[in-house]
Structure 1
Amino acid sequence: MFATRYLPLAGRLMIGLPFAMSGLGKLGAYGATTAMIGAVGLPFPPLAFAAAVAVELGGGLLLVAGYRTRTVASVLALFSLATAVAFHSNFADQNQMIHFLKNVMMAGGLLQIAAFGAGALSIDNRRGTGALGTATAVAA
């Protein structure tokens, strides 16, 4: 009971809070972040900045709350893979390879959340969509 009730919340906190913190950090570093986006050759750095902040900050907070968790986790997984390829694909630099692999691992964890849902302690569960997208009843 403990594992199925509390571990999904712990997992959502451990993966959602760093995303939210990263989004907040970007808000305070607009110039540096848009310069980095432009340096890797992505088009429209201001638009990419806004999208990154929305995905990281908004997605991280929604994941923590357990709201529309499957969709949010899927978007964050795709975002993690895209940033791995765009920003961390220089494997000649060991630090970049570590960041690439970290992003791939985060995507794997997020896909687990997408597959198995938010868990008992979530808004999704209160709405009846907490596990496998179907109505669930969890004893309090």
Structure 2
Amino acid sequence: MNNVEKTFPALPMIGRLMMAAIFLVSGFAKAAAPQMTIGYIASVGLPFPALGLAIAVAVEIIGGLLLALGYKTRITTLVLAIFSVVTGVVFHNVIGDQNQFIHLMKNIAMTGGLIQVMAFGAGAFSIDSYRNSGRVIPIG
């Protein structure tokens, strides 16, 4: 644990929650309007757009929840980082279009934040920290 985390132990949790928010909002939005996302996936020429939708929704919602909770954080952030780079490159590759370029850079920036969490862990307020502390949940 570094000095900043000792002084402000909630900062890693706040960062995780802020990063998780974009995945959760995006995943639930895709689940609520599946045809729009299926059409977008098909428009870039990917096969099996319904399967792509299912994978995206699962990665974003499950990954977002796991990140928010700080559970299996390093593997979760690895999956979300790969997902962010792949989706940025596949769906936001027209860098001459300022909007698409900004979306690509957003994905790259998110990946940078995820790599930070992967490198330094979930922090004190996380399921990972609780599990690693040796504490047990009292029953009864």
- What's the TM-score once normalised by structure 1's chain length? 0.89
- 1:12 aligned to 2:13? no
Task: Determine the structure 2 residue equivalent to 1:105.
Answer: 109
- 1:94 aligned to 2:98? yes
**Could you tell me whether the CA contact under 8 Å between 1:63 and 1:73 is conserved in 2?**
yes
Structure of greater Rg: 2
- 1:71 aligned to 2:75? yes
1:53 equivalent among 49, 53, 57 = 57
Computed over aligned residues only, the root mean square deviation of the Cα atoms, in angstroms, reads 1.4
Structure 1: distance between partners of 2:127 and 2:46? 35
| Letter matched to residue 91 of structure 1 | I
CA offset digits 1:12-63 (Å, max 9, x no partner): 0000022111100101111010010010111110111000000001100110
Unaligned segments of structure 2, at least 5 residues: 1-5, 136-140
| Letter matched to residue 17 of structure 2 | L
The percentage of aligned residue pairs carrying the same residue is 52
4+ residue segments displaced more than 2 Å: none
- 1:29 aligned to 2:27? no
| Letter matched to residue 43 of structure 1 | P
Unaligned segments of structure 1, at least 5 residues: 129-134
| Letter matched to residue 64 of structure 1 | A
Structure 2: distance between partners of 1:55 and 1:109? 17
Question: Structure 2 vs 1, CA of residues 136 and 111 (structure 1 numbering), >3 Å: closer, same or farther?
Answer: farther
- What's the TM-score once normalised by structure 2's chain length? 0.89
**Could you tell me whether the CA contact under 8 Å between 1:125 and 1:136 is conserved in 2?**
no
Which of 1 and 2 has higher RCO (CA within 8 Å, sep 6+)?
2
Structure 2: distance between partners of 1:67 and 1:32? 31
Structure 2: distance between partners of 1:127 and 1:33? 37
**Could you tell me whether the CA contact under 8 Å between 1:80 and 1:103 is conserved in 2?**
yes
**Could you tell me whether the CA contact under 8 Å between 1:62 and 1:68 is conserved in 2?**
yes
**Could you tell me whether the CA contact under 8 Å between 1:76 and 1:110 is conserved in 2?**
yes
